[in-house]
Chains A and B, each alone.
Chain A
Amino acid sequence: DTGVSQNPRHKITKRGQNVTFRCDPISEHNRLYWYRQTLGQGPEFLTYFQNEAQLEKSRLLSDRFSAERPKGSFSTLEIQRTEQGDSAMYLCASSDPGQGATNEKLFFGSGTQLSVL
C-alpha cells in the first residue's frame, strides 16, 4: 500500500496526558499537512510542511501542539496536557510537488481518532 499511513488509528487518553501521532506520507510527496476534524464538521487546517520546514501554522494550533518532520519524510504531531476539547480526528495529507497553487490535490490518510476522557 503506497497511500498515506497514520498511526495509531485510535487513541484513548486521560485529560492531562501527552499523546503523539505519526504520519507517513506518500514517498515522493514533499508537502505534508495536518488537519483536525471534529464531530459534524469538515476538516480544518492545522499546519503544513514543505520537506522538513514547517511553513504555516493555524491559530487552532495552540502552544500545547507541536508538529515535526525531522527528515522531510514522516511527521509527528504531539499534544501535551490533553484537554477534552482536543477530542477529534486528526488527519494527515500529502501532495505531489508538481501541483500549482489552486489545483493541489491532497491525498489523505485514514486519520487518528483521539478521545480524551
Chain B
Amino acid sequence: AQKITQTQPGMFVQEKEAVTLDCTYDTSDPSYGLFWYKQPSSGEMIFLIYQGSYDQQNATEGRYSLNFQKARKSANLVISASQLGDSAMYFCAMIEGGSTLGRLYFGRGTQLTVWP
C-alpha cells in the first residue's frame, strides 16, 4: 500500500488566491513526521513545512500552513496569496518513528501552476 497518496496530478490557481494541495498518509506507527517539499524545475527539493504526529496545533511557515487531520490521516498544504514563483512540483512526505533516520516516503507530487 502507498504510504503517501497525492490525488491531484495538477492544480491551477490565480495569483494572490489560496490553494490547497491534498495529501493522505498510511502508517501504523504512532510516531511520525509529515513534510512538504517544493521542487522547481531546477530539481532541488526545498523544505517547506513540518508537522509531527503529536503536535496539537497545525504547523505554519509564512504563507504555508498544514491542515493536519489525524483521524482522517490527512495533511493538506495550504498556500495563501499564491505567487508566480510558487509554480513547481509539490511533494508530501512522511517519516516513521520506527524507520531509518531520514528515510522519507514521498508521494507522486502535485504540479502547481500559478497564473497571473
A45 to B108, CA, bound (A): 14
Q: Digit string of B98-116 for contact with A (CB within 8 Å is 1, else 0)? A: 0011111111110000000
Cβ of B77 under 8 Å from chain A: no
Interface-lining segment among B11-19, B43-51, B65-73, B79-87: B43-51
Contact residues in A for B44 (Cβ distance below 8 Å): 3, 108-111
Q: Contacts A89-B43, A110-B42, A113-B43; is A104 near B102 (CB within 8 Å)?
A: yes
Cβ of B25 under 8 Å from chain A: no
Q: How close is B114's CB to chain A, nearest CB, in angstroms?
A: 21
Within 8 A of B (CB), among A51-105: 55-56, 89, 91, 93, 95, 101-105
Task: Give A contacts to B, CB under 8 Å.
Answer: 3, 31, 33, 35, 40-45, 48, 50, 55-56, 89, 91, 93, 95, 101-111, 113
